[in-house]
């Protein structure tokens, strides 16, 4: 990919592990429904979220301050495994729950300054397969990847600087999907 680097592994977790985690995280994560403020108006974020990590790994975006909840045993196990394959010391994870096809994640880059100039972001997907779009910020380039159950997507190098990504809404009937993006916050 020009001006970026994205790796996709469809079978990072086997079906048994992925099924277990989907169920477990769905019921045990402290999901929150956040609002964002735009020009003085409040909007519900079209998905549920949760933030876990080291105590000092603060993160804020779109006016939401995310104070991390402490790591759970399952999340730590995953963190260590994913850190190993991606060569990054992750200290936090943002979880997204897309309840159905109407839940989504609009065009953005993960380029907050707490993430450093070339963030490595490892994104684990569970549940409903959803389309992931990437578009270059200044060139007419687009990519599309289907993120399946148990897959791992790693974005690194200058991907966040030159590209935006999104999970679009879908009018199809869709089951829930959980996504975990492991990140390293520079503290
Ligand atoms: O759900 C996904 O696959 C992407 C999530 C994402 O881009 C984010 O939380 O920053
Ligand atoms: Mn993102």
First vs last C-alpha separation in the chain? 30
**pLDDT category, 85, cuts 50, 70, 90?**
very high
Residue 1: alpha-carbon gap to chain centroid: 20
Is the minimum distance from the CB of 128 to ligand 1 under 6 angstroms?
A: no
Q: Look at ligand 1, atom 1, and give the residue with the nearest C-alpha.
A: 179
Q: Which domains does the chain have, with CATH numbers?
A: 5-183 (2.60.120.590)
**Residue 133 in this model has a pLDDT that exceeds 70:** yes
Measured between alpha carbons, how far is 181 from 94 in angstroms, rounded to an integer?
5
Q: Look at ligand 1, atom 10, and give the residue with the nearest C-alpha.
A: 110
Average pLDDT of every residue of the chain: 95
Measured between alpha carbons, how far is 13 from 171 in angstroms, rounded to an integer?
28
Q: What is the number of the ligand 1 atom nearest to the C-alpha of 165? A: 7
Quick one: pLDDT at residue 34? Answer: 86
Q: What is the pLDDT of residues 17-76, one digit of tens each?
A: 999 999 999 999 999 998 888 788 888 999 999 999 999 998 776 666 678 999 999 999
**pLDDT category, 93, cuts 50, 70, 90?**
very high
Judged by its nearest atom, the ligand closest to the C-alpha of residue 182 is 1
Is the minimum distance from the CB of 86 to ligand 1 under 6 angstroms?
A: no
Return the best residue to mutate from 123, 150, 168, 176 for the ligand 1 pocket (most ligand atoms within 8 A of CB). 123
Q: What is the pLDDT of residues 148-167, one digit of tens each?
A: 999 999 999 999 999 999 99
Return the best residue to mutate from 45, 96, 185 for the ligand 1 pocket (most ligand atoms within 8 A of CB). 96
Quick one: pLDDT at residue 67? Answer: 82
Neighbours of ion ligand 2 (CB under 5 A): 110
């Amino acid at each position: 990919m020009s001006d970026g680097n994205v790796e996709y592994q469809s079978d990072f977790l086997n079906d048994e592990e992925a099924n277990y985690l989907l169920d477990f995280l769905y019921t045990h994560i402290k999901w929150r429904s956040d609002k964002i403020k735009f020009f003085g108006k409040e909007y519900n974020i079209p998905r549920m979220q949760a933030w876990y990590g080291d105590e000092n790994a603060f993160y804020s975006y779109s006016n939401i301050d995310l104070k991390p909840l402490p790591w759970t045993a399952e999340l730590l196990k995953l963190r260590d495994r994913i850190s190993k394959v991606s060569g990054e010391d992750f200290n936090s994870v943002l979880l997204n729950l897309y309840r159905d096809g109407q839940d989504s994640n609009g065009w953005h880059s993960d380029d907050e300054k707490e993430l450093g100039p070339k963030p490595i972001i490892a994104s684990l997907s569970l549940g409903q397969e959803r389309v992931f779009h990437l578009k270059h910020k200044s060139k007419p380039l687009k990519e599309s990847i289907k993120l399946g159950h148990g897959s791992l997507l790693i974005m690194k190098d200058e991907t966040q600087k030159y590209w935006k990504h999104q999970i679009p809404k879908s009018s199809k009937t869709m089951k829930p999907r959980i996504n975990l993006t492991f990140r390293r916050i520079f503290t």
